[in-house]
């Protein structure tokens, strides 16, 4: 009954949105297409998130070897021997859980050191850790904004930012994706209000990057701070891996620096770096920080090692970018629609049919390729896609083998290059 009640609120105007509950719960839950589509989500991996791993469920049934193009483990740090060893040693020393919220008993020496190291890495006064990236954005936005304020976000910002705005009671408005003129116009409309602009470094569904210099010019002209979510750009962009701010040489113009530990860092968690006063304030006002258990100390110790390994030289980043170039050139030669991507996140946009998306995912899995289908409402219904996350751990052979499968099971059926 609870489900029936809440589902009535969801009506998506898309007849093919199999995973989007319509008003009629009984029809939806019994629809065999829902069962089929759901089986392509939450498929269990049986080994580490390396490119060569094992998967079950979906169309596979039993566990089978696959090439994994889905994990956020961009630099391979989740399985890096030094990182794993740091985690193992800390696990033996500290035990499994933090057993308390950070403000109470959940802060260990590891948390203090990682916060200091991240702040130094980002060239900021201070840093605070959250137990997830989602919780980090949620808490930081909720803490920074108040009723009467206006949060101005890029239209493609992550759900955690949107939810933070809702919790804060501030008004939330979006500007056209990456469009400085639209940002200017939006900020002008709310002149006199306390405002904050939020953009992302790399956009997670499209793999394009924020036009930071142009957007910052607008923010500066309006004297409004910019909050930058570097979830997918931390350790990936910039000469030292500090992110897109470093890449564009604009770090000192960014008001709040946000990052996650769940992507290139290879672990889990979120962090916010900024002025001491901002961090001190957020520790008292970000509810997801105050009312949630701190990160496990072993994960924190591992993240310190990830930071050290990824910043000691550029080896992993250079390997990642070489792989991105290799993959992009293979996929481009097939005539696939890769959208606006310029980063390690590469969408293959296949169009408007949810049924076709699942059929293509099935065909890929049958050939031993694990591709993540992304359906409406995560993306617009005309641009259903697969999303490839390139990793530094892919070998040239992995990339060529995966590309051959993509050509056979996606490019050819879509009538692109090589079609019979
Ligand atoms: N911000 C962005 C831009 C993201 O893509 C994500 C997750 N994909 C998050 C925040 C949330 O991070 P986490 O998965 O670490 O909770």
Q: Which of 267, 284, 312 represents a domain boundary (last residue)?
A: 312
188: Cβ contacts below 8 Å, ≥ 6 apart: 222
418 is a domain residue? no
- The alpha carbon dihedral of 231, 219, 179, 168 has a sign of positive
- Residues 137, 254, single domain; the answer is yes
- Residues 236, 281, single domain; the answer is yes
Closest-CA residue, ligand 1 atom 12, reads 133
Using DSSP's 3-state secondary structure scheme, residue 152 falls into: strand
Mean pLDDT by 10 residues, the chain (420 residues): 53 54 72 79 92 89 94 97 98 98 97 98 98 98 97 96 97 97 98 98 97 98 98 98 98 98 98 97 97 98 98 97 98 95 97 85 93 86 93 98 97 73
| Residue to mutate, 71, 131, 133, 378, ligand 1, most ligand atoms under 8 Å from C-beta | 133
Q: Which of 73, 157, 158 is nearest to 389 (CA)?
A: 73
Domains in the chain, number = 2
- Residues 285, 358, single domain; the answer is no
Pair type for strands 270-274 and 256-260? antiparallel
| Residue to mutate, 154, 260, 265, 343, ligand 1, most ligand atoms under 8 Å from C-beta | 260
22 is a domain residue? no
Q: Which of 312, 338, 354 represents a domain boundary (last residue)?
A: 312
- Residues 54, 101, single domain; the answer is no
CA of 133 to the centre of ligand 1 (A): 5
26 is a domain residue? no
Q: What's residue 20's pLDDT?
A: 62
- For 339: left if phi > 0, alpha if psi spans -120 to 50, otherwise beta; the answer is left
Asked if the ipTM is above 0.95, the reply is yes
| Residue to mutate, 130, 134, 374, ligand 1, most ligand atoms under 8 Å from C-beta | 134
- Residues 186, 305, single domain; the answer is yes
Q: What's residue 6's pLDDT?
A: 54
Distance CA 214, CA 202 (A): 16
Closest ligand 1 atom to Cα of 135: 16
Helical spans, DSSP H, in 76-197: 81-94, 109-121, 133-144, 159-168, 180-189
Closest ligand 1 atom to Cα of 260: 15
What residues are in contact with ligand 1 under a 6 Å CB criterion?
132-134, 137, 158, 160, 200, 204, 229, 231-232, 260, 262, 270
Q: What's residue 323's pLDDT?
A: 98
Distance CA 226, CA 58 (A): 41
Q: What's residue 417's pLDDT?
A: 66
224 is a domain residue? yes
Exposed, middle or buried: residue 370 (CB in 10 Å: 0-12, 13-18, 19+)?
buried
Beta bridge partners of 101: 293
CA of 231 to the centre of ligand 1 (A): 6
Q: Which of 284, 312, 340 represents a domain boundary (last residue)?
A: 312
The domain in which residue 243 lies consists of 79-312
- Residues 204, 242, single domain; the answer is yes
Q: What's residue 250's pLDDT?
A: 98
CA of 234 to the centre of ligand 1 (A): 12
- Residues 239, 367, single domain; the answer is no
Query: What count of other Cβ atoms lies within 10 Å of the Cβ of residue 7?
Result: 17
6 is a domain residue? no
Closest-CA residue, ligand 1 atom 13, reads 133
Longest CA–CA span in the chain (Å) reads 65
Residue pair 125/280 in contact (Cβ under 8 Å)? The answer is no
Closest-CA residue, ligand 1 atom 5, reads 204
73 is a domain residue? no
Q: What is the CATH number of the domain that holds 83?
A: 3.40.640.10
Q: What's residue 419's pLDDT?
A: 43
CA of 413 to the centre of ligand 1 (A): 33
CA of 135 to the centre of ligand 1 (A): 9
Closest-CA residue, ligand 1 atom 8, reads 204
Distance CA 190, CA 316 (A): 44
227: Cβ contacts below 8 Å, ≥ 6 apart: 140, 141, 144, 196, 197, 198, 199, 254, 255, 256, 258
Q: What's residue 11's pLDDT?
A: 47
CA of 409 to the centre of ligand 1 (A): 30
Q: What's residue 420's pLDDT?
A: 39
CA of 58 to the centre of ligand 1 (A): 24
CA of 156 to the centre of ligand 1 (A): 13
266: Cβ contacts below 8 Å, ≥ 6 apart: 73, 75, 76, 77, 78, 79, 80, 83, 302, 306
Residue pair 409/415 in contact (Cβ under 8 Å)? The answer is no
CA of 412 to the centre of ligand 1 (A): 33
- Residues 100, 247, single domain; the answer is yes
Distance CA 274, CA 258 (A): 9
What is the pTM (predicted TM-score) of this model?
A: 0.94
- Residues 162, 270, single domain; the answer is yes
- Residues 229, 159, single domain; the answer is yes
N-term to C-term CA, the chain: 52
Closest-CA residue, ligand 1 atom 14, reads 133
Distance CA 151, CA 224 (A): 11
288 is a domain residue? yes
Q: Which of 303, 279, 322, 365 is nearest to 64 (CA)?
A: 365
Residue pair 328/403 in contact (Cβ under 8 Å)? The answer is no
CA of 408 to the centre of ligand 1 (A): 32
Q: What's residue 16's pLDDT?
A: 55
Closest ligand 1 atom to Cα of 202: 3
């Amino acid at each position: 009954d609870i489900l029936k009640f809440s589902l009535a609120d969801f009506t998506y105007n898309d007849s093919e949105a199999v995973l989007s509950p319509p008003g009629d719960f009984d029809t939806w839950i019994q629809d065999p297409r829902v069962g089929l589509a759901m089986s392509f989500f939450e498929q269990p991996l049986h080994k580490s998130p390396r490119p060569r791993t094992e998967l079950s469920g979906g169309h596979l049934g039993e566990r089978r070897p696959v090439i994994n193009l889905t994990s956020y483990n961009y630099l391979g740090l989740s399985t890096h021997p030094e990182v794993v060893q740091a985690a193992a040693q800390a696990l033996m020393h500290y035990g499994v859980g933090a057993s308390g919220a950070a403000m109470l008993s959940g802060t260990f020496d590891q948390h203090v050191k990682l916060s200091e190291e991240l702040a130094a890495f980002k060239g900021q006064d201070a840093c605070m850790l959250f137990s997830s990236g989602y919780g980090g954005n949620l808490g930081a936005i909720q803490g920074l904004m108040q009723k009467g304020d206006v949060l101005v976000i890029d239209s493609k910002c992550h759900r955690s930012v949107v939810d933070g705005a809702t919790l804060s009671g501030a008004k939330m408005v979006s500007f056209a994706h990456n469009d400085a003129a639209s940002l200017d116009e939006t900020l002008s409309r709310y002149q006199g209000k306390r405002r904050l602009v939020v953009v992302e470094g790399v956009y997670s569904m499209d793999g394009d990057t924020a036009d930071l210099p142009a957007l910052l010019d607008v923010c500066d002209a309006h004297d409004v701070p910019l909050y930058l979510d570097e979830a997918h750009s931390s350790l990936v962009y910039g000469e030292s891996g500090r992110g897109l701010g470093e890449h564009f040489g604009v770090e000192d113009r960014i008001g709040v620096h946000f990052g996650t530990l769940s992507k290139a860092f290879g672990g889990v968690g979120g962090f916010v770096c900024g002025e001491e006063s901002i961090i001190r304030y957020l520790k008292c006002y970000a509810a997801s920080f105050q009312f949630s258990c701190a990160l496990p100390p072993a994960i924190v110790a591992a993240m310190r090692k990830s930071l050290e390994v990824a910043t000691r030289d550029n080896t992993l980043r250079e390997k990642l970018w070489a792989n991105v170039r290799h993959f992009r050139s293979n996929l481009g030669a097939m005539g696939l629609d890769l959208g606006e991507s310029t980063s390690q996140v590469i969408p293959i946009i296949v169009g408007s049919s949810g049924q076709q998306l699942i059929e293509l995912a099935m065909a890929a899995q049958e050939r031993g390729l694990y591709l993540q289908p992304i359906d409406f409402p995560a993306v617009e219904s005309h641009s259903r896609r697969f999303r490839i996350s390139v990793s530094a751990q892919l070998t040239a052979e992995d990339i060529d083998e995966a590309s051959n499968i993509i050509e056979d099971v996606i490019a050819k059926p879509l009538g692109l290059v090589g079609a019979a």
